[in-house]
Chain A
Amino acid sequence: MLKIKKTKLNEFIDFLMKEYSVYAPVEHGKKTTFGKIESVFDIDHSIYNTTKSPKEVFFPQAEVLFKYSKDGLKVPERNEKPFALWGIRNCDTRSLKMLDSVFGDAHQHPEKDYFKDPYWKQKYDNCLVFNLACNEPLSTCFCHWFDGGPFDKVGSDVFVVETDNDYIMEGVSDKGKKFLETYDKAEKTDAKDTEKIEKLKTTADSYLAEKVDTKPVHDKLAKVWDEPIWDEISAKCINCGACTFVCPTCHCFDMDDEGKDGKGSRVRLWDSCMFQLFTKEASGHNPRGVAVQRVRQRIMHKYNYFKDNYEVDLCTGCGRCVTVCPVNLDIREVIKKVLEY
């Protein structure tokens, strides 16, 4: 472990920017998101959960897959340094691992290398994640329901704790450890710092609401698939899709061509299973034409289908969907309802 005075963070970020394109929580209009910073002053340190999740750094809301014209197809070249994420919370750190199992690998079909998504891989591979501990989790946080916690380090390269005067950093992965070794301006930590971290962790844990054991959710969902519980759950959902857009693990996308006169781009854009058109076929047939089917799909995908394939729930308990839902459809209540049914 080593520590950096808060007043010296600028030196550290400058050092980091020599090798990396640094993304951190920034204000973006009335919203907050992970944006590329030019200096330490761009970082908004007051943000807990950015409105949009950091998935957007690696999987942008709109991304050009290739440009086309009379001369053929051209894939945009990426001439940027590797990415570093500063100030990402553990819920989001874990979400990136989940997305990597979808985009970055061909898990279910290891023999098919072309299933790996090159656009994701070129950004996500080699990135450096500075996971910032949550000293004061929000009332919407439920990471502890899904194997996470405010001081969890899983998936991070460097684990960072903000104390009264310092940032205390611990290399978690080899990549993270190596990077910290190259920085010679840090101070050493002592027993007092360890004590501080322990105290902060205890306080943070005390902020969390009661834990619900989510292990039985997977099997329970399989049992209630055809039950009227879904009518009750989906009754107030207006299918706006806001939850899926802010979700750090939702990864459904659309592919569309933009251009005219034989020139343009094929773009991929975030899409949502909440939308009726998502599955509507040209024939008019729609396997999920009714709202209740779509709400069920979202819940089933998160807590049952994904787990079948990757042995983990597709939810990190970040609470963004709880915050943005215009009709207060709280996914924690849905989980409880399923468990009680």
Chain B
Amino acid sequence: MCNNAYIPIPMKVEKVLSENPDGSLRTFDLSFVNEEDKFDYMPGQFCEFSILGKGESPFGIASSPTEEGILKFTVNRTGSVTNEIHYLNVGDIVGIRGPLGNWYPLEKLKGKDVVIIGGGFAFTTLRSMLIYMLEHREDYGAITVIYGARNPDLLIYKDELAEWDKRDDLTLHLTIDTPVEGWNKHCGFVPTITEQVAPDPSAWAIVCGPPIMIKFTLPVLKKLGFDDKRIYTSLERRMKCGIGKCGRCGIGSKYVCIDGPVFSFEELKSIPDAF
């Protein structure tokens, strides 16, 4: 049976990195076991990550297509599949189905200023996009990143954040929910900080985070004067098949898995239960 979207391809764990002190967030670099399985993808797409015997879960691809040969996923340990993923060691083989869904509108963003707004461990596909844009830096205007988490520990990709902070072709605003000793960046929820930082509304905004963050950030962007057509967000739903059949990720007449996960706010306006 060829062309069977339900069959995962084998991938090998190359690297495991703990993102925070309590170990609840881990990043896995995977490599293709078979040359013929290699696939192209774009920032914003996701995969179904299989642990045979446990099941599978969808995760956004955190690596950029410019990082050749690997797929990166950052996984929060929260359920039975993610628990099992956290037990993985270098050399283990896992199953991957993908790439699934659509991607961030990188073509449309060419020549434009871009504001990336992220929250918590949902920064994965935003990392993918940011790396991609930095790799093609001359294609884009000013890049502003607003990224928040409950506390400093829960910010992911800390080494890269430190590097990006030093760059002069990128403005980085980091925030945590409540003050912590030794923290000299912003304090407050992402929507509040977005309002304070007040990015120029002629830019395009890409928002990805927990549903509650998206829900409260959109009105702020509207207030700042951002056009609905220039606000994009990536939605998350429980998924199984990933190819628009199993019915679970439906929002209105759309499926997050095939019509999304990336939607413009313009599209979402007409969908009643998007958030």
Same complex for A and B? Answer: yes
Which residues of A pack against B, CB within 8 Å?
A: 65-66, 68, 72-73, 75, 102-103, 108-109, 112-119, 122, 225-226, 251-257, 259-260, 262, 264, 266, 268, 271, 273, 278-283, 285, 287-288, 293, 297, 300-301, 304-306, 308-309
Interface residues on B, range: 35 or more
Stretch with Cβ within 8 A of A (4 or more), from B109-117, B174-182, B222-230, B244-252: B244-252
A279 surroundings in chain B (CB, below 8 A):
237-238, 248
Q: Are B3 and A281 in contact (CB under 8 A)?
A: no
In-complex Cβ contact of B4 among A75, A262, A282, A283 (8 A): A75
In-complex Cβ contact of A281 among B237, B240, B259 (8 A): B237
Q: Are A255 and B241 in contact (CB under 8 A)?
A: yes
Instruction: Determine how close the nearest CB of chain B comes to the CB of A274; give it in whole angstroms.
Output: 12
Q: For residue A76, which residue of chain B has the nearest CB?
A: B1
Beta-carbon contacts under 8 Å, B69-84 to A: 76, 78-79, 81-82
Q: Are A66 and B7 in contact (CB under 8 A)?
A: yes
In-complex Cβ contact of B247 among A122, A251, A287 (8 A): A251
With A103-B245, A117-B245, A287-B237 known as contacts, the answer to whether A256 contacts B52 (CB < 8 A) is: no
Q: Are B78 and A283 in contact (CB under 8 A)?
A: yes
Q: Give Cα distance in the complex from A70 to B100, angstroms.
A: 27
With A65-B6, A75-B1, A75-B4 known as contacts, the answer to whether A115 contacts B244 (CB < 8 A) is: yes
Q: Does B21 contact A (CB under 8 A)?
A: no
Q: Give Cα distance in the complex from A113 to B5, angstroms.
A: 10
Q: Are B3 and A113 in contact (CB under 8 A)?
A: yes
B246 surroundings in chain A (CB, below 8 A):
252-255, 268, 271
Top 5 A-B residue pairs of the complex, sorted by shortest distance between their CB atoms: A252-B247, A282-B79, A308-B253, A305-B253, A282-B78
Q: Are A259 and B53 in contact (CB under 8 A)?
A: yes
Q: Does B29 contact A (CB under 8 A)?
A: no
Q: Give Cα distance in the complex from A225 to B274, angstroms.
A: 13
Given contacts A262-B53, A305-B253, 11 further A-B contacts (CB under 8 A): A65-B6, A66-B7, A108-B244, A114-B4, A118-B1, A255-B241, A264-B52, A281-B237, A281-B238, A283-B76, A293-B273
Q: Are A271 and B253 in contact (CB under 8 A)?
A: no
With A117-B245, A306-B253 known as contacts, the answer to whether A255 contacts B53 (CB < 8 A) is: no
A300 surroundings in chain B (CB, below 8 A):
252
In-complex Cβ contact of A255 among B10, B55, B82 (8 A): B55
Q: Are A301 and B250 in contact (CB under 8 A)?
A: yes
Q: For residue B270, which residue of chain A has the nearest CB?
A: A222
With A279-B248, A301-B250 known as contacts, the answer to whether A253 contacts B240 (CB < 8 A) is: yes
Q: Give Cα distance in the complex from A41 to B252, angstroms.
A: 47
A293 surroundings in chain B (CB, below 8 A):
273
B236 surroundings in chain A (CB, below 8 A):
281
Q: Are A304 and B52 in contact (CB under 8 A)?
A: no
Q: Give Cα distance in the complex from A10 to B210, angstroms.
A: 62
A280 surroundings in chain B (CB, below 8 A):
238
A-B contact pairs, 22 of them (CB 8 A): A75-B4, A108-B258, A109-B244, A115-B5, A115-B243, A118-B4, A119-B6, A122-B1, A251-B247, A253-B245, A256-B55, A257-B53, A268-B246, A279-B248, A280-B238, A282-B79, A283-B78, A287-B251, A297-B250, A301-B250, A305-B253, A308-B252
Q: Are B53 and A260 in contact (CB under 8 A)?
A: yes
Q: Give Cα distance in the complex from A62 to B259, angstroms.
A: 27
